[in-house]
Structure 1
């Protein structure tokens, strides 16, 4: 996949700060955000209401306040379904 940009094409919040995602390469899985919630701007996502407001912006999971997580990180660290 070197040199290929991956985008997240579907993103759904799940319990326990996880995201069910589908990527542009067809991979489907669950990405666990819980390990990020004590780091910098991601602290705001500890509020379930904020976490559940995730939207895709140009293929990147994004939350209010310009908080986002790189699609490449999501793809590399997600657990396949």
Structure 2
């Protein structure tokens, strides 16, 4: 599988269950499930739904307070398209 490192996330809306509704720079839209990351490493800080909901985009990358982010190419490759 080729990973496109030029992908950016243009829109990220938090959803219940630690998921993000996203639109990517290539026009694809879908849902990215963060629940499998929430109990790992720095992502543990997002285990509170109120903290998870603070997602913002920084240069096309979903980012949370404390400089926690998830790579845009990971979001694109792992999201479920709708």
> TM exceeds 0.5?
yes
Unmatched runs of 5 consecutive residues or more in structure 2: none
Tell me the matched-pair count.
Answer: 81
Q: Which has the higher helix share?
A: 1
Instruction: Point out 4+ residue stretches in structure 1 off by more than 2 angstroms.
Output: 1-4
Length-normalised TM-score, structure 1: 0.95
Change (3 A) 1:2 1:36: closer
What is the TM-score normalised by the length of structure 2?
0.94
**Which consecutive residues of structure 1, in runs of 5 or more, have no partner in the other structure?**
none
Task: Give the aligned CA root-mean-square deviation in angstroms.
Answer: 1.3
